Chain A
Amino acid sequence: MKKAFFVFGASLLLTQTSCVTVKPWEKMYVNDELMELKNPKLQIYETNFEAYREGAAGAEGGTVGGGCGCN
């Protein structure tokens, strides 16, 4: 668990030190719809069944609770 938090913290630090300032007129690529840092709306169904068929879930915008999901 400590190792996981260390890797996570190191990633956070890395984003602070390794990036450049991108001007608004240079955001053509990062503003592309496909670059969004979240799942497409339609993927919610897959995220839900994965949450039920696997013992792990969360940190990706899917179901973490509510309802039975027991089939």
Chain B
Amino acid sequence: MQLTNRFFTILLGLIATSFPAFSQQSATATKPKSDSVKAFPIVNADFLFSYYEQDGDHGAVTGGKGTQLLWDYAGKTVISVQLDSHNVVGVTAGVDQYSSASTDNIDLNVSSASASDVRAYSNLNYTRKRNKQKSWTIGSGFSVEYDVTSVSANVGYNQLAKDENSGFGISGMYYNDNWSLIYPYEFRYRGPNPSPLLSTNVRNLVGVNANYFRIINKRLQIGLYADFIQQWGLLSTPFHRVYFTDGSSDIERLPDKRWKVPLAARTSYFATDWLVLKWFNRYYMDGFGIQAFTSNLDASFKVKRYWVITPSYRYHSQSAADYFQPFMGHATSAQFYTSDYDLAGLSSQKIGMALAYHPLYGRIPVRLRSMNRLIRLRSLDFRSGLFIRSDGLRANYFSFGASFSY
């Protein structure tokens, strides 16, 4: 309850401080008189912020029983620069800061360093448009947090049909995560020259994504998506505990290979001039034995000129991983074991609401003296919702984004 009250206080505060800005924007002229012809480079900038909090009683650090209380603040900037009609460069940089009561249980020091962490990340992408129909993209990124550093690379190709009624894309990605192996305190001191608890501290991922879209008629289009992902290396989390039926304990142990295949379809339907429906369905299977189905429906109502309200509902259902058992549920003879409820058989629901302000020509154009161009506000977006998992975990989130162009 206290969690929910705090969440809504933050939500109302952010909305209240935003409304004066809206009224000022409304008072300004609608379509700017100048710069109707864009000159390169064209810069788009997105500033995104998110707040997320959760609570539950199945913390994996404490073997599937214990607090999952967590707060996470995230901020991100996405800048895209269209250098000319063929070349686009994109840069993303962001920081997440979280405070977790669950990871605070890795050691005996309450409110120790493990209680909070900061993750910083950045990506750089370059897109080359060969012509109106064909483009390819190449990029790389990195992220740093207390116990994990990660580097990634991606490459992709997209092609539209001549009539632009269909198109396909294919992309590949690679991630390499290096972990500092932080064990629960009771596993750290095992005498002189102990054998290593885990054989590797590196996690790798290779993935291929294929997608295809087709305009069915004037109001309906559909997209199909398939990912083929292979992970190998350290796939368990070193500081997750597992308790066995006889009361003994160990760290989480999982196989060193895992494949994942999600298949998804997305449909957009322009029902009326004031209603757009979007439906997403996904079937998922992986090498740990999880099968899952996810469905999401968004209904976007154009309530006023430039304003859109989108209520949404999402349902997810999954079977348990072969290696999952709850607290003290594992036999000591098992080779692989986890009590992480993210891998349990469960369902989840998400009820969300989005509010968007997308002016046609951009609002509050600002002309800087040194520049003969206008900075425009392209959009303001708010999203909020409630996530409920069948094991009792509840989460709230709120996010805000502002998009500008220059």
Question: A residues within 8 Å of B by Cβ?
Answer: 1, 4-5, 7-8, 11-12, 15-16, 18-22, 24, 26-30, 32-38, 40-46, 49-50, 52-60, 64-68, 70-71
B206 CB to nearest A CB, Å: 9
- Chain B stretch 144-186: residues in CB contact (< 8 A) with chain A: 145, 147-148, 150, 152, 163-166, 173, 175, 177, 179
| Contact across chains for B224 and A55 when beta carbons are under 8 A apart | no
B399 CB to nearest A CB, Å: 5
A52 in contact with B283 given A19-B214, A42-B399 (CB within 8 Å):
no
| Contact across chains for B152 and A32 when beta carbons are under 8 A apart | no
| Contact residues of A: prevailing secondary structure | loop
A15 in contact with B216 given A5-B263, A41-B78 (CB within 8 Å):
yes
Give the 9 A-B residue pairs with the shortest CB-CB distance, closest first: A56-B292, A58-B262, A59-B264, A65-B205, A65-B175, A56-B284, A29-B270, A59-B262, A37-B223
CA–CA, A36 and B113, complex, Å: 43
Is residue B134 contacting chain A, with contact meaning CB distance below 8 A? Answer: no
Q: Which chain B residues border A38 with CB–CB below 8 Å?
A: 266
| Contact residues of B: prevailing secondary structure | strand
CA–CA, A18 and B221, complex, Å: 11
Q: Which chain A residues border B352 with CB–CB below 8 Å?
A: 46
Total contacts A-B at CB 8 Å = 223
A71 in contact with B292 given A15-B216, A45-B74, A46-B352 (CB within 8 Å):
no
B123 CB to nearest A CB, Å: 10
Is residue B311 contacting chain A, with contact meaning CB distance below 8 A? Answer: no
Interface string of B318-351 (1 = CB under 8 A from A): 1001000000000000000000001110001010
| Contact across chains for A55 and B219 when beta carbons are under 8 A apart | no
CA–CA, A67 and B94, complex, Å: 13
| Contact across chains for B395 and A53 when beta carbons are under 8 A apart | yes
Question: B residues within 8 Å of A by Cβ?
Answer: 46, 48, 50, 52, 54, 60, 70, 72, 74, 78, 98, 100, 102-103, 119, 121, 141, 143, 145, 147-148, 150, 152, 163-166, 173, 175, 177, 179, 203, 205, 207, 209, 212-227, 229, 231, 237, 239-240, 260-266, 268, 270, 276, 278, 280, 282-286, 288, 290, 292, 294, 300, 302, 308, 314, 316, 318, 321, 342-344, 348, 350, 352, 354, 356, 358, 381, 383, 385, 387, 389, 393, 395, 397, 399-401, 403
CA–CA, A58 and B94, complex, Å: 21
CB nearest neighbor in A for B163: A21
| Contact across chains for B342 and A52 when beta carbons are under 8 A apart | yes
| Contact across chains for A59 and B231 when beta carbons are under 8 A apart | no
Q: Which of B215, B292, B318, B381 is close to A30, meaning CB atoms less than 8 Å apart?
A: B215
| Contact across chains for B263 and A8 when beta carbons are under 8 A apart | yes
| Contact across chains for B283 and A60 when beta carbons are under 8 A apart | no
Q: Which of A37, A56, A59 is close to B221, meaning CB atoms less than 8 Å apart?
A: A37
